[in-house]
A and B are shown apart, each in its own frame.
Chain A
Amino acid sequence: MIRTGTIALAAALAAASPAASQDSGSGTAVTDDQPATATGGGEVVDTLLESAADGSATQEDRTQEKPRRDPVPLVPKTATWNTFHGQLSAQKYSPLDQINRENAGNLEKVWEVHTGDVSDGTGDLPTTVWSATPIYANGMLYIGTPFYRVLALDPATGEEIWSFDSKSRLEALTQPALKNRGVAYWEAAEPQEGEACQKIVYLGTMDARLFAMDADTGKPCADFGDNGALNVNQWNTTNDKWPFSLLQPPTVSGDHVIIGWAGNDWKYAEAPPGSVFSVDPRTGKLQWAVDTIPQDIRRQTGTANVWTAMSVDEELGLVYLPVASPSPNYWGGNRTQEIPLATSTTAVDIETGKVVWSRQWVHHDVWDYDINSAPTLMDITVDGKEIPALMQATKMGFLFVVNRETGEDVWPIEEREVPQGDGSVEGEVYAKTQPFPTKPAPLLDQAQKEDIWWIADAVGFGQCSKLFDSLSYEGMYTPPTTRGKGVYTFPDSSGGVQWGGVAFDPESQTAVVNTSHIAQYIQLYPRDEFDRIESGSGNEAGYYPQIGAPYGMSLKVAMNWLGMPCWKAPYGELVAIDMKTGEVNWRKPLGSSQKFGFYMPESMGSPTIGGPAVTAGGLIFIGSTMDAKVRAFDIATGEELWEDIVGAPSVSNPAVYEHEGREYVAFIGGGNTILKPQVSDHIAVYALPE
Chain B
Amino acid sequence: MAQHATTWSPGAALSALAAFAGAAIAAILYLTPLTGVTGTIGALIVLGASLLVGIGALLLMATRRALWLWLTLLGGIGTAVAAAFLHAWWIVVLLAVVLVGLVMERLTLTRSRKART
Question: What residues of chain A have their CB less than 8 Å away from a CB belonging to chain B?
Answer: 596-600, 627-629, 645-647
- Chain B residues closer than 8 Å to A629, beta-carbon distance: 36
- A598 x B36 contact (CB < 8 A): no
Q: Is there a chain A Cβ closer than 8 Å to B82's Cβ?
A: yes
- A628 x B33 contact (CB < 8 A): no
- B34 x A598 contact (CB < 8 A): no
- B42 x A597 contact (CB < 8 A): yes
Pick the contact of A596: B33, B34, B36, B40 (CB < 8 A).
B40
- B35 x A599 contact (CB < 8 A): no
CA of A645 to CA of B38, assembled, Å: 11
- A598 x B85 contact (CB < 8 A): yes
Q: Is there a chain A Cβ closer than 8 Å to B86's Cβ?
A: yes
- Chain B residues closer than 8 Å to A600, beta-carbon distance: 85
B22-53 contacts to A (CB < 8 Å): 33-37, 40-43, 45
- A599 x B34 contact (CB < 8 A): no
CA of A646 to CA of B41, assembled, Å: 19
Q: Is there a chain A Cβ closer than 8 Å to B65's Cβ?
A: no
Q: Is the interface of B mostly helix, strand, loop or mixed?
A: loop
Q: A599-B87, A645-B36 are in contact. List 12 more A-B contacts (CB 8 A).
A: A596-B40, A597-B42, A597-B43, A598-B42, A598-B85, A598-B86, A599-B36, A599-B86, A627-B36, A629-B36, A645-B35, A647-B34
Give the shortest distance, in Å, between B37 (CB) and chain A (any CB). 4
- B37 x A597 contact (CB < 8 A): yes
Question: What residues of chain B have their CB less than 8 Å away from a CB belonging to chain A?
Answer: 33-37, 40-43, 45, 82, 85-87
- B41 x A596 contact (CB < 8 A): yes
Give the shortest distance, in Å, between B113 (CB) and chain A (any CB). 40
- A647 x B33 contact (CB < 8 A): yes
- Chain A residues closer than 8 Å to B37, beta-carbon distance: 597
CA of A574 to CA of B84, assembled, Å: 25
Give the shortest distance, in Å, between B81 (CB) and chain A (any CB). 10
- B40 x A597 contact (CB < 8 A): yes
- B33 x A599 contact (CB < 8 A): no
CA of A300 to CA of B40, assembled, Å: 47
* 8 residue pairs from A and B, CB less than 8 Å apart: A596-B41, A598-B82, A599-B86, A599-B87, A629-B36, A645-B34, A647-B33, A647-B34
CA of A599 to CA of B34, assembled, Å: 15
- Chain A residues closer than 8 Å to B40, beta-carbon distance: 596-597
CA of A627 to CA of B34, assembled, Å: 11
CB-nearest residue of chain A relative to B43? A597
CA of A586 to CA of B86, assembled, Å: 29
- A646 x B85 contact (CB < 8 A): no
Give the shortest distance, in Å, between B95 (CB) and chain A (any CB). 16
CA of A645 to CA of B34, assembled, Å: 6
Give the shortest distance, in Å, between A116 (CB) and chain B (any CB). 14
CA of A628 to CA of B33, assembled, Å: 12
- B86 x A597 contact (CB < 8 A): yes
- Chain A residues closer than 8 Å to B82, beta-carbon distance: 598
With A596-B40, A597-B40 known as contacts, the answer to whether A646 contacts B86 (CB < 8 A) is no
CA of A244 to CA of B99, assembled, Å: 61
Please indicate which of the listed interface residues A597, A599, A627, A645 has the most CB atoms of chain B within 10 Å of its own CB: A597
- Chain B residues closer than 8 Å to A646, beta-carbon distance: 34
CA of A647 to CA of B87, assembled, Å: 17
- Chain B residues closer than 8 Å to A597, beta-carbon distance: 36-37, 40-43, 86
CA of A629 to CA of B85, assembled, Å: 16
CB-nearest residue of chain B relative to A628? B36
CA of A598 to CA of B43, assembled, Å: 8
CB-nearest residue of chain A relative to B83? A598
Please indicate which of the listed interface residues B33, B34, B40, B87 has the most CB atoms of chain A within 10 Å of its own CB: B34
- Chain B residues closer than 8 Å to A627, beta-carbon distance: 36
CA of A645 to CA of B40, assembled, Å: 15
Give the shortest distance, in Å, between B82 (CB) and chain A (any CB). 7
CA of A347 to CA of B35, assembled, Å: 45
CA of A447 to CA of B34, assembled, Å: 40
CA of A600 to CA of B87, assembled, Å: 10
CB-nearest residue of chain A relative to B41? A596
Give the shortest distance, in Å, between A510 (CB) and chain B (any CB). 30
CA of A308 to CA of B3, assembled, Å: 75
CA of A647 to CA of B36, assembled, Å: 8
CB-nearest residue of chain B relative to A120? B39
CB-nearest residue of chain B relative to A595? B42
Please indicate which of the listed interface residues A598, A627, A646, A647 has the most CB atoms of chain B within 10 Å of its own CB: A598
Please indicate which of the listed interface residues A599, A627, A647 has the most CB atoms of chain B within 10 Å of its own CB: A599
- Chain A residues closer than 8 Å to B85, beta-carbon distance: 598-600
Give the shortest distance, in Å, between A118 (CB) and chain B (any CB). 13
Nearest 3 interchain pairs by C-beta: A597-B40, A597-B42, A598-B85
CA of A646 to CA of B35, assembled, Å: 9
- Chain A residues closer than 8 Å to B41, beta-carbon distance: 596-597
Give the shortest distance, in Å, between A674 (CB) and chain B (any CB). 18
Give the shortest distance, in Å, between A629 (CB) and chain B (any CB). 8
CA of A596 to CA of B41, assembled, Å: 5
CA of A629 to CA of B36, assembled, Å: 8
Give the shortest distance, in Å, between B93 (CB) and chain A (any CB). 17
CB-nearest residue of chain A relative to B85? A598
Give the shortest distance, in Å, between B47 (CB) and chain A (any CB). 11
- B35 x A596 contact (CB < 8 A): no
CB-nearest residue of chain A relative to B88? A597
- Chain A residues closer than 8 Å to B43, beta-carbon distance: 597
CA of A151 to CA of B62, assembled, Å: 60
Give the shortest distance, in Å, between B33 (CB) and chain A (any CB). 7
Give the shortest distance, in Å, between A253 (CB) and chain B (any CB). 38
- Chain A residues closer than 8 Å to B35, beta-carbon distance: 645
Give the shortest distance, in Å, between B31 (CB) and chain A (any CB). 13
CA of A599 to CA of B84, assembled, Å: 9
CB-nearest residue of chain B relative to A646? B34
